[in-house]
């Protein structure tokens, strides 16, 4: 059984189409399934993982993501974002004695943040980040009515 991996451009177009059609998608698994169905319309041999679809949607700006997390209790010192694999930046607070304390970490590219203990993503909610613009004919008709 053979398979093909779609290029980033083909995957981005399929992801944008799915997000435009559905608006809000409540899980990573559902987004992956919708995108795979859209890719199968182009070529039956295409395959893609849910993680790749999530990463591409976030990094290309096609989707805004809400992440629900749970605390593991394991102490952590920075590292990479588990949502989009970007660098985490320290959140610091000044003490009354002139020092500073690390309160947590924030991702540089998405909305993910955590305290000093590791948080694991439990649920993703994807929203279409591209603006919905009505077609040109509809805008022209409404503009003519107001004149």
All structural domains of the chain with their residue ranges? 8-146
Note the pLDDT of residue 140. Answer: 54
Cβ atoms within 10 A of the Cβ of 110, count?
A: 17
Report pLDDT for 12: 94
What pTM did the predictor assign? Answer: 0.76
Q: Where are the alpha helices (DSSP H) in the chain?
A: 8-22, 28-42, 50-59, 136-146
Residues of the chain with pLDDT under 50: 147
Inter-CA distances, 115 with 79, 86, 93, 120, Å:
13, 17, 13, 12
In this structure, are residues 126 and 31 in contact, taking their beta carbons and an 8 Å threshold?
yes
Residues 57, 36 contacting (CB under 8 angstroms): no
pLDDT for res 111:
80
d(CA 76, CA 125): 25
pLDDT score recorded for residue 77: 84
Q: According to the model, what pLDDT value does residue 141 have?
A: 53
For position 40, what pLDDT does the model report?
94
């Amino acid at each position: 059984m053979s398979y093909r991996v779609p290029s980033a451009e083909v995957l981005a177009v399929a992801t944008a189409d799915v997000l435009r059609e559905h608006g809000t998608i409540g899980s990573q698994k559902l987004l992956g399934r919708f995108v795979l169905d859209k890719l199968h319309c182009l070529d039956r041999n295409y395959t893609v993982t849910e993680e790749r679809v999530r990463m591409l949607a976030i990094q290309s700006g096609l989707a805004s993501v809400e992440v629900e997390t749970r605390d593991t209790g394991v102490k952590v010192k920075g590292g990479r974002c588990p949502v989009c694999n970007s660098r985490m930046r320290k959140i610091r607070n000044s003490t009354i004695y002139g020092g500073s304390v690390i309160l947590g970490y924030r991702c540089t590219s998405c909305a993910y943040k955590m305290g000093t203990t590791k948080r694991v993503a439990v649920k993703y909610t994807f929203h279409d980040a591209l603006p919905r613009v009505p077609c040109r004919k509809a805008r022209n008709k409404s503009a003519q009515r107001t004149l």
